[in-house]
A and B are shown apart, each in its own frame.
Chain A
Amino acid sequence: MRLHNRRIYNLCYRFTNSPDDAQDLTQEVFIRVYRTMGSYHVEKGAFTTWLTTLTRNLLVDHFRRSKQDRVTDSIDAGLREEDDSLSLSDRLEDPRPNPDDRLASKETQKMVQLALARISPDLREAVILRDLQDMDYKEIAQVLRVPEGTVKSRINRGRMELARLLSRNKKQASNE
């Protein structure tokens, strides 16, 4: 359990953008695992894939329930909160290796997380599974129950959307 705990928590947090929801969902995942352990068969695939499928189904349920009320908070709102800190261009491009760099990196991470929360759930889950959970296309296709081609297309579109969102906010921040 300790082995998968961190992975599941990260997956839930990156998808929901809420530490509380991530914690609740991680607990729920493990409760379901205990309850449905009998339905897992080795021949169907790796345990990690099965666990990720289970988590993804829960995340989809959660998304439908909450309708992304909290997640759709504007990324601009997030930026305004940090108005008194570094500018967006500083956050994204500042290469200085000083203590501020760590703060900038933290701010950048927050911005990327907010941007990730804004892209559509279909694209978001594909991107998270590929770039954060390091799953291969075949496994992602199995989890999302879509063809591999669709998986690749979603990943590309997700990455593009994210880059566009960040770029747009970067421009807005530099204009301010």
Chain B
Amino acid sequence: MNKDFKNGMECSEFESLLAEALDDALAAENRKAFDQHGRTCPVCGPLFAETREGMLMIQGLAELEPPKNLVHNILVATSRKLAETEASGEVEKAGWLERLRWSLRPRMAWLMHSRFAMSFAMAFFSLSITLTLAGVRISDIKNIDMHPNALRKSFVLGFTHMEAKVTSYYENMRLVYQVQAKVRELKKNTAPAPGSNNENRQQNRKSAPEDGGRPKQYENYSRERDGSVIAETFTRHEGAQI
């Protein structure tokens, strides 16, 4: 910008008034000097025209219609953020137990589903019935001494009892097996010769009826008054040899 003084106005002054001139906000006397300078100055005249053209071009830009889903997206995004902010605020105020509960909340959310809730309710119901039938009372559990030493003692005692039971069971089983083995051995030693045993079996078979172990047994379901049979069935007991 040159420092020429034309028509009562310097070029720098012209430039500083440019914005107001384009807004039509210049005072009357300034406007006159401004216009005169613009008409005669070879730099400021085109400058004014160029700036005006640029202004008109930009002002000619139409206002755009935002996408239809924008408001919805904003509402969704802001409500989510708001919920997160509120949640974090509540968590900050709460104690460690509450914070733990908050941190577990998303992971345990599936448990709150009606299907799982119903299953848990049924399981609890079954458990309570089983405990009642077994004679376990909640008050008994309350009376348990929770001191570490007492717990250790009861654990050791329980373990010893269990060990004794297992040992005794094992010993009994061993005795039973020993007795069985002894009996088998005695039977083996006192058994007759194999040939005589076969003959006895053949004799038994001959004495038995031809069609099985037992004779035919007739069952009368209906009889006339004179004793004659109208219908009858029979059962066959096959292979019932004792």
Contacts and interface: CB of A to CB of B under 8 A. Distances in A.
B94 interface: no
Interface residues of B, number: 33
Given A5-B66, A10-B64, A31-B81, A156 B58 contact: no
A97 B59 CA distance: 20
Interface stretch (B68-76, B98-106, B167-175): B68-76
A161 B50 CA distance: 9
- Interface bin, chain A: 35 or more
Contacts of A116: 58, 61
Contacts of A108: 60
Interface in B2-38: 15-16, 18-20
Contacts of A162: 54, 57-58
Interface in A138-164: 149, 152-153, 155-156, 158-164
Contacts of A26: 66, 70, 74
A160 B51 contact: yes
Nearest to A149: B16
Contacts of B70: 5, 9, 23, 26-27
Contact of A112 (B47, B60, B73, B78): B60
A30 B82 CA distance: 11
B171 to A, nearest CB: 76
A58 B64 CA distance: 20
A149 B71 CA distance: 37
Contacts of B15: 153, 156
B55 interface: yes
A123 to B, nearest CB: 10
B62 interface: yes
Contacts of B62: 109
B67 A161 contact: no
A160 B58 CA distance: 11
Contacts of B55: 131, 159
Interface of B: 15-16, 18-20, 47, 50-55, 57-67, 70-71, 73-75, 77-78, 81-82, 85
Q: Which 9 A-B pairs have CB atoms at the shortest separation, nearest pair first?
A: A159-B54, A163-B54, A9-B66, A162-B54, A152-B19, A131-B58, A163-B53, A163-B50, A159-B51
